[in-house]
A and B are shown apart, each in its own frame.
Chain A
Amino acid sequence: DGGITQSPKYLFRKEGQNVTLSCEQNLNHDAMYWYRQDPGQGLRLIYYSQIVNDFQKGDIAEGYSVSREKKESFPLTVTSAQKNPTAFYLCASSNGDSSGANVLTFGAGSRLTVL
């Protein structure tokens, strides 16, 4: 079955450590996205990539980094510079058509807790 796989599902980190969240898709989608979800707030876009080897900052990119070396993979690194990293992180993909019903397919999420 086609879909998006995120790992790990739960992750604990000490302050000052970088962590990398994995996102893999086998939907042959061109575009991939990382969102952050906090209680009482809408999903906020961290980074997105519309094509391999290219990515753009979203609304809250500070303290995060990404890479897109393969079409299937879009890992997110939460760096020690991110002031409040405890959150639920969602990866998504789409066929990249910015017009019309560009439906996002989401992964199951990774919950990061900073101790």
Chain B
Amino acid sequence: GQNIDQPTEMTATEGAIVQINCTYQTSGFNGLFWYQQHAGEAPTFLSYNVLDGLEEKGRFSSFLSRSKGYSYLLLKELQMKDSASYLCAVRWSWGKLQFGAGTQVVVTP
């Protein structure tokens, strides 16, 4: 199968910036999603990238480089409520959507 890699856990202070990286194999790539999941709750959609570049939505931004097989989710002005797991998911050209294991972000006061 295709590997999707993201760090297991990241810790940052309230008000700071955190960048969550996601790497994947480039062959067959057809779009990348970021979801946020609070513990024991439903994942919720954050962003979708299919073209290279940066997509900004308020405090959250997502970047994609298709040639490098690389995306990141940037969380600015961190708030305590941002403590959650962030899931990277890649859609492959044959239609399958594959999730990474998720990155647990811990925001400390």
Q: Fill in one digit per residue for A73-91: 1 if any B CB lies within 8 Å of its CB, else 0.
A: 0000000000000001010
A108, B40: Cα distance in complex, Å? 7
Interface of A is mostly: loop
Among B40, B43, B48, B98, find the residue whose CB has the most chain A CB atoms closer than 10 A.
Answer: B43
A103 within 8 A of B: yes
Among A41, A90, A106, A108, find the residue whose CB has the most chain B CB atoms closer than 10 A.
Answer: A106
| CB within 8 Å for A106 and B44 given contacts A42-B4, A43-B87 | yes
A residues adjacent to B (C-beta < 8 A): 4, 35, 40-45, 88, 90, 98, 100-109, 111
A41, B101: Cα distance in complex, Å? 4
Question: Across the interface, do A106 and B42 meet the contact criterion of CB distance under 8 Å?
Answer: yes
B residues adjacent to A (C-beta < 8 A): 4, 8, 31, 33, 35, 40-45, 48, 50, 87, 89, 91, 95-102
A43, B96: Cα distance in complex, Å? 12
Question: Across the interface, do A101 and B48 meet the contact criterion of CB distance under 8 Å?
Answer: yes
Question: Across the interface, do B31 and A100 meet the contact criterion of CB distance under 8 Å?
Answer: yes
CB distance from A49 to the nearest CB of B (A): 14
Among A43, A88, A102, A109, find the residue whose CB has the most chain B CB atoms closer than 10 A.
Answer: A43
Question: Across the interface, do A107 and B48 meet the contact criterion of CB distance under 8 Å?
Answer: no
* B4 cross-chain contacts in A, Cβ below 8 A: 42
Question: Across the interface, do A109 and B95 meet the contact criterion of CB distance under 8 Å?
Answer: no
